[in-house]
């Protein structure tokens, strides 16, 4: 787990992800042709198509690690409150860590750009396979609302 982020933020991020992704103990197509299970876990060959709540939690703990790393790196140089960290963890988890780390959004946050510029970049991430997805628009709105909220979750 990330020392920079802290256990409370990690727990809140996991809960936020459960709310955004939902929890599904049986495999399903994520709508973009990706076989998924648990809390947005992309299935690998040989993994079971049905899991227990404990397996779901284990997948989430493992799957969130890369997002914790990239947000932890950002937090080393950029002041972020807990809500911002949680929102960014959820974003990186969904968009993909390499994509987020190399994005204009990352650079805007790192440079502490005006909030309108950050929002514009954030809301651009609404496509799956080149198609605008209403669910991604809703998700980005929820993430950004948390990012801009100064009170606790």
| Active-site residue list | 21
- What ranges in 22-128 are assigned the alpha helix state H? 53-77, 82-95, 97-101, 104-110, 115-123
Which residues are CB-neighbours of 80 under 8 A, at least 6 positions away? Answer: 71, 74, 88
Nearest-5° Cα angle at 7, 105 to 24:
75
């Amino acid at each position: 787990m990330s020392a920079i982020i802290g256990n409370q933020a990690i727990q809140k991020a996991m809960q936020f992800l459960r709310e955004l992704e939902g929890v599904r103990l049986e495999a399903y197509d994520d709508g973009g042709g990706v076989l998924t299970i648990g809390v947005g876990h992309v299935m690998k060959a040989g993994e079971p198509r049905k899991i227990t709540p404990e397996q779901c939690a284990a997948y989430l703990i493992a799957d969130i690690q890369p997002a914790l790393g990239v947000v932890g790196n950002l937090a080393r140089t950029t002041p972020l409150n807990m809500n911002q960290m949680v929102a960014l963890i959820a974003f990186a988890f969904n968009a993909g860590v390499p994509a987020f780390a190399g994005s204009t959004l990352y650079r805007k946050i790192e440079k502490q750009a005006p909030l309108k510029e950050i929002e514009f970049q954030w809301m651009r991430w609404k496509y799956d396979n080149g198609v605008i997805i209403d669910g991604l628009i809703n998700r980005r709105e929820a993430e950004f609302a948390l990012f801009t909220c100064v009170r606790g979750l």
